[in-house]
Structure 1
């Protein structure tokens, strides 16, 4: 069964009386080339555990099951559960969980799946076609919870992907760019025009792979201070860092000026021009002053 075929999707919907949910951001992928590329670039192996977020009717799930040792598909829409059990009935290495991914205890889930087919699992790969409305919270939960995944290959709104990939000095560079790049390296996998989805969304998508860093790119005295500085800096991105950081941890403008001089950063610069290394230097200096 070609689950990615618009005809198949239509037939499955009619059979089960399924209606797309706008509130859940449901858009099903219909391009086999993109599906194949996601599986290939995810580097899934036979001893790997794959966790899929938002399987829909199982288009990507089935392809992942062909390559992986085991696939755990997390689907929030209970109306899709009976459909998934039917469309994926041929596979004995798929577990379907009806839950909100933001409520999933990943540490417990991975502990329960330390072995694949009687062997210690090799890697954990996370994949998914993420709903636009909740993309950032999902990504940050995985990263901030320190989920022991090797990579995260996800389809997301092009605009958000551009923000994640952005480099210092660009208009799209922001707090999300810094946060994700602190935890991961970012690779472009594929472009996905809106025409290859059912129903068709209003914007194009992009597939990216986030390779979780084994070692962080900068040495921090405090991650809390680092992210507080990043948030404050981009919170008023039109202002200079001298102004946007005034008040952080109770520091006066004069004290911020001293901190910036010590960190070797011109106070008239704006957050969008700072690299991860410069944010780290600034945060470490503020931490030392505190």
Structure 2
């Protein structure tokens, strides 16, 4: 099976099939072996593992995954890539390609039916426009995967692992770190793709926690508060929360912040996940008393 990870081989197969890159699908194919193996090694895959690969492209990463993993299910949205994948993966008998939009897939059912109880990991070179929806689908729907290794836009990766008090810290930071332990694997220059994207990329590992980082009485309320706090970043916490859809007036927010020992003039970007959780439980308790 000829290895695809080179500009020459990738261009040859793309030309042979008359494949046209889709801007709307954010298609950029990896052509650097060093980055390829950093992704594979960072994912810590063994023959005991099942892998869901999102966006296999022409099968460059899939070929190596097939050698390392017990089983690989590759989910590809572009039907024009299916005949290419049929050729490039013809010798990989532990790979199954599914033509589907991963956002519409029943992932619980897929894991139950395809992996026979194996631990499952996700690997993806994600189109930048669907990065957050795909990652949050796995996390919010509690899809039983132990980790996700994803190549994403550098700015998004920076936000995912940002700490309180930094410019990158926001609602995405809180959401990802609530469910995961993020770890950067490697930075990825534009030059290792064809066609070259306009932005730098990062490979990040999201190790999914067995239980969320903090316990809260109402998870939806927690994220309503987080969104409200970051929705108007320049506003103080008091003003941001009292002008949100939490249904509490300014005086009541003031009282709850005081009971939470959180100064009303602070901004959302300074709060830790633990402080957000405590604030959510205080608001939950107030609603229960009404």
**What interval of TM-score do these two structures reach, taking the shorter chain for normalisation?**
over 0.9
Deviations 1:239-268 (A, max 9, x none): 000000004431110100111011110000
What does residue 167 of structure 1 align with? 163
What does residue 209 of structure 1 align with? 205
What does residue 223 of structure 2 align with? 227
SS in 1 for 2:181: strand
SS in 1 for 2:12: helix
User: 2:281, 2:92 → 1: CA distance?
Assistant: 51
Deviations 1:77-117 (A, max 9, x none): 000011001011110000000000100111000110242xx
SS in 1 for 2:246: helix
Paired residues of 2:71 and 2:115 also in contact (CA < 8 A): no
- Report matched runs for 1:100-111 at 5 Å: 100-111=101-112
What does residue 188 of structure 1 align with? 184
User: 1:6, 1:17 → 2: CA distance?
Assistant: 16
What does residue 279 of structure 1 align with? 276
What does residue 136 of structure 1 align with? 132
User: 2:83, 2:214 → 1: CA distance?
Assistant: 46
Which of 196, 203, 210 lines up with 1:200 in the alignment?
A: 196
User: 2:220, 2:132 → 1: CA distance?
Assistant: 19
User: 1:69, 1:114 → 2: CA distance?
Assistant: 9
Moved over 4 A (4+): none
TM-score by length of 2: 0.97
User: 1:24, 1:131 → 2: CA distance?
Assistant: 7
User: 2:29, 2:265 → 1: CA distance?
Assistant: 47
What does residue 177 of structure 1 align with? 173
1:260 equivalenced with 2:257 (yes/no): yes
- Report matched runs for 1:32-71 at 5 Å: 32-71=33-72
Figure out how many residues of one structure are paired with residues of the other and give that number: 285
User: 1:179, 1:236 → 2: CA distance?
Assistant: 17
SS in 2 for 1:265: coil
Which of 104, 117, 122 lines up with 1:126 in the alignment?
A: 122
SS in 1 for 2:19: coil
TM-score by length of 1: 0.97
User: 1:190, 1:101 → 2: CA distance?
Assistant: 25
Shift of 1:2: 2.4
> Bigger CA drift: 224-233 or 39-48?
39-48
User: 2:146, 2:31 → 1: CA distance?
Assistant: 27
Shift of 1:9: 1.1
User: 2:77, 2:68 → 1: CA distance?
Assistant: 24
What does residue 152 of structure 2 align with? 156
Paired residues of 2:3 and 2:63 also in contact (CA < 8 A): no
| Structure 2: tracts of 5 or more residues without a match | none
RMSD of equivalent CA atoms: 0.8
